[in-house]
Amino acid sequence: MTNHKKTEKQDKVQHTVCMDCSSYSTYCYRCDDFVVNDTKLGLVQKVREHLQNLENSAFTSDRHRKRKLLENSSLNSKLLKVNGSTTALCATGLRNLGNTCFMNAILQSLSNIQQFCCYFKELPAVELRNGKTAGRRTYHTRSQGDNNVSLVEEFRKTLCALWQGSQTAFSPESLFYVVWKIMPNFRGYQQQDAHEFMRYLLDHLHLELQGGFNGVSRSVILQENSSLSASNKCCINGASTVVTAIFGGILQNEVNCLICGTESRKFDPFLDLSLDIPSQFRNKRTKNQENGPMCTLRDCLRSFTDLEELDETELYMCHKCKKKQKSTKKFWIQKLPKVLCLHLKRFHWTAYLRNKVDTYVEFPLRGLDMKCYLLEPENSGPESCLYDLAAVVVHHGSGVGSGHYTAYAAHEGRWFHFNDSTVTLTDEETVVKAKAYILFYVERQAKSGSDKL
């Protein structure tokens, strides 16, 4: 309805009477609408305002009710029954910022490797911003030219936010911004490979720690942690850091010329081992399938360390023969790390596509024995080669550029499933059925012996 004020020049109108309520109105051809007098308009306006107030009141009430329900459900989700008593679930999820599940799964896994996590949480905080932006929360974009960023600091703050129990989910936006700044391969919001991200993350943490942190040299910080002694360090790209002290191991690469028998040995440091799934197991299998042999982690480790004859595309340059010759290659592990990270090669290239090997690989929760893969097993102690599972990263889906990543991790004797912002308590039976992509095993301390793989 339109209310027109009287003007000197009247428009052509038509008077009408409503057949239902007998109210009198005028139709204006200019406005193509009915016109009512001011008195009737005032009543209509009051009715409209009253209805609007009722609607707003109902909406506000409903919104408060939903918020209260969410808060209650959030609180209830943070409580669980353990031995008949209710305890708080202190785990915190990570919000997905747009296909960032690959990052969330790795961060949750690393946060449950206690020695590694505690080191970063105990580092001093760094104030990177000063002047007008000091103390403010800033939202960064790709176009910003701020180079004053610290991966170590944002990684530290993210780890500190997890396992506090003060919130159900934490948004790692500041860390993701730093990742964009220093790791161009991960810019954008497309799905990425979790293993590739883990390697980039550890490498850049290692490099930044080598350069010092918050005015304190890396060597001083590392020496303050007495548990990371010099004998446990493995130098990669220069001086040792906590990254190499915990994840660093050493491989011996042994190559033999099949023509003259010349032997060549080379020592290579590693942060993780990438294991092929043997071709005879590359069929889709689940934990419950009984037809055919089941692939185990031992099969993958044996395939990695077994003697291998190099094909024509990998001929070895023999210094004695002074030309490329056929040869054999074998890996030995000279030094085991404190945390053994095993990456199962589930993605491989065909002619045009990168396909996924969806084979189930059986793995142990505790007692993984690595002694038989050592170069000098006689020099190792009885417990130094046993590892217990700390975390598992799982890829759900068919391709590396699609699908979804989640993680399972053990914390204070309980297993949790981390699915972005959702964290749920789970059991060992569920964990062992997962089709693992990355496995994190922690060296067992000298305690009671358990079942071995």
Active site residue ranges: 101, 404
425: three-class secondary structure by DSSP: strand
Q: Give the type of residue at 28.
A: C
Closest-CA residue to 447 (of 364, 365, 387, 380) = 387
The b-or-e profile of 306-340 (16+ CB within 10 A means b, else e) is: eeeeeeeeeebebeeeeeebebebebbbebbbbbb
* Six token digits for residue 5: 């004020």
- Separation between Cα atoms, residue 51 and residue 45, nearest integer Å: 10
Side-chain-facing half-sphere of 305: CA atoms under 13 Å: 18
What is the C-alpha separation between 414 and 183, in angstroms, rounded? 34
Q: Which of 391, 405, 390, 403 is nearest to 444 (CA)?
A: 390
First-to-last C-alpha distance (Å) of the chain: 82
